[in-house]
Structure 1
Amino acid sequence: MLIQPVVLSGGSGTRLWPLSREKYPKQLLPLIGDDSLLQATVRRVEGIAGAELAPPMVVCGEEYRFVIAEQLRLLGKPGIIVLEPTGRNTAPALTLAALAAIKDEADPVLLVMPADHVILDIPAFQRVVGQGALLAADGAIVTFGITPDAPETGYGYIQSGAPFPGKATLTVPTPAGLIARFVEKPDLSTAQAYLDEGSYLWNSGLFMMRASVWLAAINICRPDILVACQTAWDQGSADGEFVRVDKDAFAQCPADSIDYAVMERMAANASSLNAAAGALPPGVVIPLSAGWSDVGAWDALWQVLPKDDSGNVTQGDVLLHDCNNTLALSEGRLVACVGVSDLVVVETADAILVVHKDKTQDVKKIVDSLKQQGRVEGSIHRKVFRPWGSYDSVDAGERFQVKRIVVKPGGTLSLQMHHHRAEHWIVVSGTAKVTRGETTFLLSENESTFIPLGTTHRLENPGCVALEMIEVQSGSYLGEDDIVRFEDVYGR
């Protein structure tokens, strides 16, 4: 059985600020272990019994394409990256993925996964996904409901109805039920009633179905979405591992979620057990208990990370004394906490967050305030990733700025010019190939050069190790928009 992993990588993750930013959301961060959440999502499908895995497919926004491509490359799993010109929620994203999956007349089972969730028990996840794949291959649309262990008000719920055995020859050890209904995030008393009743599961956002089954279902439920996606797909183009759909056509696509567009309608037709003309396929939910979390806020991250005997979680340069149930993370500077309980303390190069664990859902309000004030800390980190590497603005003042630049092996910056600033480049390690005006030359460790204002220039790394250098900018205006690009291998 061919399974096509589909990773939906949208959302800004504002509740995990300041680690997560609009331009570098939580799925790109290594919050648990060395892998980013996106990398962990791709890696956890390895080893599903009886399954042949297609290369991963990621659906994401244009601005994240190079970071995601690099993260897949580091995994040794280059795949297909379908680029959305603008966000239209999960139903159009899945429709694009299904169209991509059938382009060579294949019809794989799609395993649809959000890029920013955590699953701790990988063997349990793989066992249940393997069971879901059998039902999906047989024509069902399968979702996985998380077995609740608390009256959680931050999740939607799915009620499991009548048992769904599939065909008589199909044995599914894990109980699978027809989807009786979806319900929105409840209040506490309702959530407790759901927990006591026993047939309600948390909505995980995980799905399985054949590509053709999804396309048939979206055609019945939301033909306007299918038409817009099909048009955008037909008018799109491929660029290496990137697949671009037509921007104008996709802009006409309505925004809707998988749940609203299709799943809730299947719940209303739970007695339909076939995909005959005009009939929806069966919607099936399978319970999943595998240490799942959507890591929707800092308290959720604290819950899934290993703790000391006092319930504390620390990462980075952190010292605690007489603290309990506290999460303290440092990206650089020493963080010291004394005599505190139930706090979250997060240090980054340009921002520090201190919040009580009961108020972590309100972190988004800080991000909203930053945006209203026009402050960049709400959207970008001090360290900014580019397709060629990264730069970190380590110091700045009136008419000057200092950056630490890292260019990955083979990386090439655009051929460019600045109207308002000059630049001094000092190589710390590696080798730089410099184009300055009409000349091209190499710089090695401890060597430097000067780029006068208005001079065409380019920086490249011809070596096999990272190029690290210090750039000192000086001039009347130092904004990133003071760039005139003449040539750019990344098509910017």
Structure 2
Amino acid sequence: MKTIILAGGNGTRLWPLSRTYYPKQFLKLKNMDRSIFQMSFERCLKLTDSDQIYIVTNANYKFLVLSQIEELGYKFNENNVLIEPVGKNTLPAIYFGVKEIQKQGEDKVAVFPSDNLIKDELTLINIIKKGLSLTSEYLITFGVKPYKPHTGYGYIKPSDPLGDGYKVSEFKEKPDYDTALSYMENGYLWNSGMFMFRTDVFTEEVKEHCQEVYQTFNLKDINEMFEKAPSISIDYGIMEKSQRVAVIPLDIKWSDLGSFDAFYDEYPSDEYGNIKFNGDILLESNNNLLYTGKDKSVALIGVNDLIVVDEKDTLLICKKNYSQKVKDVVDKLKSSKNQRVDFHLTTYRPWGSYTILEEGLFYKIKRITVLPGKKLSYQLHHHRSEHWIVVKGAAKVTIEDEEYFVRSGESTYVQSGYKHRLENPGRVQLEVIEVQLGEYLEEDDIVRIEDDFGRCM
């Protein structure tokens, strides 16, 4: 058996925690020691070996995927990270993984989103294993038994029994509250976005119900495939049309963490229904969510049903049950080219990370963290010079043809136009304060000459 993890989504409804270049699946949320992606990866390991796991994502997330797996202590085959040139929704993403698996022969496959929180994983794994026999004839979807009417999920209506599952009667889009209540009373299930099938059965159904995707993936060039493929979900493209779909019910605690409203189900609240993490003070206030930085104290007085999410560079305040509209805020910020949609103050790279500490018109100050044994690309900048002050560890510095070491408390200077590289040859993290000076300080002023991570143009 093989598994596919879909890890290309942006999670816009969880902005400002989730951003384009570091979305929700890679976040370690409050009181979590692993990211949601890491939990998904380890869940797959309960079903199969690591070399049988395929991860479909995009180029921006490739090294986040690899570094987070490495952090768990696993060595992962980089060839099993499948890069979509452009996101085209779930059907092309899943079929991309299926086609790669079929190069080794037909097999049974389980498909998981990378952003699901699942509390009772052992129950899920046992249900998946029991349901494997149905894959000889059916595409399997997994439906979660609702514990409340939810307007943020799609629904599945089961019909005739099929062993451990049921034939699917119909799929329903996200309903209003009254309709969701009716669905719940009539035995409908939440659509979890998890699937299981045989690769040959799935391919037959793609060929019959979505010829555009089927024909496109017969092309040889990956870029041409995704350029011509329609943007279409697996539900709309296949599951809603096929007569070979079964649903297996899951009676587990599950969430796709699709909005901040879902936090009320994931985190414990106080006697007044408030969720807080940092010893914040709430007086005469009920049913509020406070998600703030550890170095900040917040007080709320006389307010109810508020969601307050405070990052160093952004602040979100909205009414409970309105957090689905955060996506509209993201769309407006994108239209004004606001970079806070894309980047946190801390940006992760294959070699480590950098945090913007302060910036002005002609300067920017960063804290750069380089992991042991890693190095930045050999590069140059046309429009800025850089001062490096080592505050922890020892840096190996290359400027043009000269190599030397800079130790804690020492500094060095890189002129604009000079080829340079920063490297951590040691066993502890290297931390450097970088002061950039120049008339243009954006990240696209980088000319990479050599790079360990294949990022040279």
Q: Which bracket does the TM-score occupy, shorter chain normalised?
A: over 0.9
Change (3 A) 1:352 1:469: same
Change (3 A) 1:420 1:294: same
Measured in 1, the distance between the counterparts of 2:407 and 2:52 equals 39
Q: CA deviation at 1:313?
A: 2.1
1:310 and 2:298 aligned: no
1:372 and 2:348 aligned: no
Q: Percent identity?
A: 40
Determine the structure 1 residue equivalent to 2:292.
330
Match for residue 225 of structure 1 among 189, 210, 213: 213
Match for residue 145 of structure 1 among 140, 143, 150: 143
Please say if residues 92 and 225 of structure 1, whose CA atoms lie closer than 8 Å, have aligned partners that are also in contact.
yes
Match for residue 22 of structure 1 among 14, 17, 20: 20
TM-score (norm 1): 0.87
5+ long unaligned stretches in structure 1: 166-171, 236-245, 270-281
Please say if residues 2 and 52 of structure 2, whose CA atoms lie closer than 8 Å, have aligned partners that are also in contact.
yes
Measured in 1, the distance between the counterparts of 2:157 and 2:212 equals 28
Determine the structure 2 residue equivalent to 1:191.
180
Change (3 A) 1:144 1:460: same
Q: CA deviation at 1:301?
A: 1.8
Measured in 2, the distance between the counterparts of 1:322 and 1:40 equals 37
Deviations 1:91-142 (A, max 9, x none): 111111111222223x332110111111112222222222222322x33211
Please say if residues 99 and 230 of structure 1, whose CA atoms lie closer than 8 Å, have aligned partners that are also in contact.
no
TM-score (norm 2): 0.93
Please say if residues 44 and 53 of structure 2, whose CA atoms lie closer than 8 Å, have aligned partners that are also in contact.
no
1:397-476 counterparts in 2 under 5 A? 397-476=360-439
Please say if residues 144 and 286 of structure 1, whose CA atoms lie closer than 8 Å, have aligned partners that are also in contact.
yes
Deviations 1:426-446 (A, max 9, x none): 111112110012200111211
Question: Which secondary structure does the structure 2 equivalent of 1:58 belong to?
Answer: strand
User: What's the C-alpha RMSD, in Å, of the aligned pairs?
Assistant: 1.9
Measured in 2, the distance between the counterparts of 1:196 and 1:131 equals 27
5+ long unaligned stretches in structure 2: none
Change (3 A) 1:309 1:46: farther
Please say if residues 417 and 457 of structure 1, whose CA atoms lie closer than 8 Å, have aligned partners that are also in contact.
yes
Measured in 1, the distance between the counterparts of 2:50 and 2:81 equals 16
1:57 and 2:54 aligned: yes
Please say if residues 332 and 348 of structure 1, whose CA atoms lie closer than 8 Å, have aligned partners that are also in contact.
no
1:244-259 counterparts in 2 under 5 A? 246-259=222-235
Change (3 A) 1:476 1:45: closer
Determine the structure 2 residue equivalent to 1:13.
11
Measured in 2, the distance between the counterparts of 1:476 and 1:65 equals 32
Question: Which secondary structure does the structure 1 equivalent of 2:291 belong to?
Answer: strand
1:338-377 counterparts in 2 under 5 A? 338-339=300-301, 340-377=303-340
Deviations 1:318-342 (A, max 9, x none): 4444443222122343131233332
Measured in 2, the distance between the counterparts of 1:469 and 1:144 equals 48
Measured in 2, the distance between the counterparts of 1:22 and 1:53 equals 27
Aligned residues: 450
Greater shift in the superposed pair: 187-196 or 94-103: 187-196
Measured in 2, the distance between the counterparts of 1:335 and 1:133 equals 50
Question: Which secondary structure does the structure 1 equivalent of 2:322 belong to?
Answer: helix
Q: CA deviation at 1:316?
A: 4.7
